Amino acid sequence: MSMIKTVGLSKSFGDLRVLKDVSLTVEQKEVVCIIGPSGAGKSTYLRSLNRLERIDEGQIYIEDKLLFDCKNGVNSVKMHLDERNRALLEVGMVFQRFNLFPHKTAIENVMMAPVHVRKTPAEEARQKAKVLLERVGLSDKIDAWPSQLSGGQQQRLAIARALAMEPRIMLFDEPTSALDPELVGEVLAVMKQLAAAGMTMLVVTHEIGFAREAADKIVFMFEGAILETGGPDLMFSNPRNDRTRQFLQSVL
């Protein structure tokens, strides 16, 4: 079973085509890293998987279920809204900016969606949240406010919050690029741990070290299109495409 599959995704903002026929499959337990220059469409692609952006053309499958089949922005898949929403709950997302609720404590941030969306009883949600906070190394920050946490701690809290919904796929959009350099490692460590535990992950990142170590597959995006895909060893040592080579020279 593939966890995410897109076929021929295209999207424009006005006259600007930001996604051009993007086809990509992420298999179960696979870690796929998307690299590419700023403006390539990486964020738009991730956001379209989570319905934060509408697509114009193409198909989106989650766990082999066709959720969107769009032509001229119109989705022809007939499906009950609840069923589609349930399928989309399988996809968790972590953003560059942590998007925490500032007036909720750490544990409340983690509990909120399970209680309000999944209707998990509060006490059960609290126990699960404690386990997750421990998993991301924040046991001692349970009652802290987001503003009392470092950037690295806030991002680990954001990861715990996404995991609280028990997603089967995690999307990460440059999760470490807003962090001070000394805080990047602690967030990548949590992500590596998650990958090792078998989470399916699609990660936009410029952390080539992380990608080399954790990724099964690297995808190079440029001007809205996937130009090259391959395993990390070959991709980083011997890219076939000149654009990939140029990009890697700029970040390595």
Closest CB to ligand ADP among residues 20, 156: 20
**Could you tell me the smallest distance in angstroms from the CB atom of residue 248 to ligand ADP?**
16
| Partner that binds at residue 13, options ligand ADP, Mg ion, none, CB closer than 5 to 8 Å by kind | ligand ADP
| Torsion of the alpha carbons at 210, 212, 216 and 220, rounded to the nearest 10 | 90
Using N-to-C axis directions, what is the helix angle for 106-116 and 151-163, rounded to 10°?
A: 20
How many angstroms separate the CA atoms of 154 and 105, rounded? 11
Stretch that binds Mg ion, among 43-51, 135-143, 212-220, 227-235 (CB under 5 A): 43-51
Residues written for the chain: 252
**Could you tell me the smallest distance in angstroms from the CB atom of residue 24 to ligand ADP?**
14
Among 18, 184, 199, 218, binds ligand ADP (CB under 6 A): 18
Nearest to 91 by CA among 132, 125, 45, 142: 45
| Block residue for tokens 């995410």 | 4
| Partner that binds at residue 136, options ligand ADP, Mg ion, none, CB closer than 5 to 8 Å by kind | none
Lookup: tokens for 94: 């972590």
Nearest to 18 by CA among 28, 26, 10: 10
Stretch that binds Mg ion, among 35-43, 46-54, 114-122, 142-150 (CB under 5 A): 35-43
**Could you tell me the smallest distance in angstroms from the CB atom of residue 45 to Mg ion?**
9
How many residues bind ligand ADP (CB under 6 A)? The answer is: 10
Closest CB to ligand ADP among residues 11, 141: 11
Nearest to 199 by CA among 166, 175, 232: 166
Whole-Å CA distances, 116 to 87, 113, 121: 17, 5, 9
Question: Per CB under 6 A, which of residues 25..64 are in contact with ligand ADP?
Answer: 36, 38-44
**Could you tell me the smallest distance in angstroms from the CB atom of residue 177 to ligand ADP?**
10
Q: Is 250 in the site for ligand ADP (CB under 6 A)?
A: no
Question: Per CB under 5 A, which of residues 137..176 are in contact with Mg ion?
Answer: none
How many angstroms separate the CA atoms of 71 and 39, rounded? 24
Q: Is 13 in the site for ligand ADP (CB under 6 A)?
A: yes
Q: Partners of 11 in the beta sheet?
A: 19
Q: Is 43 in the site for Mg ion (CB under 5 A)?
A: yes
Residues of this chain that interact with ligand ADP (CB under 6 A) are 13, 18, 36, 38-44
Residues near Mg ion (CB under 5 A) are: 42-43
